[in-house]
């Protein structure tokens, strides 16, 4: 192979053409620069005892092989999915046993708290939270003012909250 002076001379003579060839084929100047440098690096690592008849052709062959390798690496990779993709689900669709048990206990405590409510408070809370009725609609159904219906809802929520806080701290 050529010595260090010859490699420098080869670089001066052929780097521009090689880089232009790579830029035209790759349409990415940064990648073309990298592959051009890699081609000269591979040429410099060639064993010294072999002769080199056509260094320009050899450089272009190295560059072409590097392009092929690059394209193979790109197309053999698994496509990347962005993490904010709504179709990408990283979490297990099943809840863990501890979470499921805790949720069941909270629901049981809430049912117990609601069962202890007086009928008017329970009805007002149920209509408000589950059926989405306004305070005015609840008042008309129960036969009280809108303000009183609001008080029923507030009292029901307060009693449920006190019942849940007074029991085991699960919820």
Cα→Cα distances 137→72, 124, 130, Å: 68, 10, 14
The Cα 140–Cα 161 span in angstroms is 26
Q: How far is CA 136 from the centre of its chain?
A: 45
Query: Across residues 140-152, what is the average pLDDT?
Result: 94
**Mean pLDDT computed over every residue of the chain:** 85
pLDDT tens-digit map of 44-57:
888 765 667 888 99
pLDDT at 126 over 50: yes
Q: How far is CA 66 from the centre of its chain?
A: 32
71 φψ region: left (φ > 0), alpha (ψ -120 to 50), beta (else): alpha
The Cα 28–Cα 38 span in angstroms is 15
Read off the tokens for 42.
């591979």
Contact by Cβ (8 Å): 26, 35: yes
Instruction: Supply the pLDDT for residue 82.
Output: 65
Specify the pTM: 0.44
Residue ranges of alpha helices (H) inside 77-118 are 97-115
């Amino acid at each position: 192979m050529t010595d260090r002076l010859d490699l420098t001379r080869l670089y001066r003579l052929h780097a521009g053409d090689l880089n232009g060839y790579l830029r035209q084929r790759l349409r990415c100047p940064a990648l073309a620069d990298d592959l051009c440098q890699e081609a000269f690096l591979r040429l410099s690592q060639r064993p010294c005892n072999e002769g080199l008849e056509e260094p320009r052709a050899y450089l272009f062959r190295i560059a072409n092989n590097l392009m092929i390798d690059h394209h193979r690496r790109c197309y053999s990779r698994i496509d990347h999915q962005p993490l904010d993709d709504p179709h990408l689900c990283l979490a297990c669709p099943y809840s863990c046993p501890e979470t499921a048990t805790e949720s069941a206990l909270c629901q049981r405590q809430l049912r117990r708290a609601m069962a202890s409510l007086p009928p008017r408070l329970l009805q007002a809370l149920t209509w408000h939270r589950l059926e989405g009725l306004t305070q005015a609609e609840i008042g008309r159904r129960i036969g009280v003012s809108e303000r009183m219906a609001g008080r029923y809802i507030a009292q029901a929520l307060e009693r449920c909250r006190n019942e849940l806080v007074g029991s085991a701290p699960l919820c």
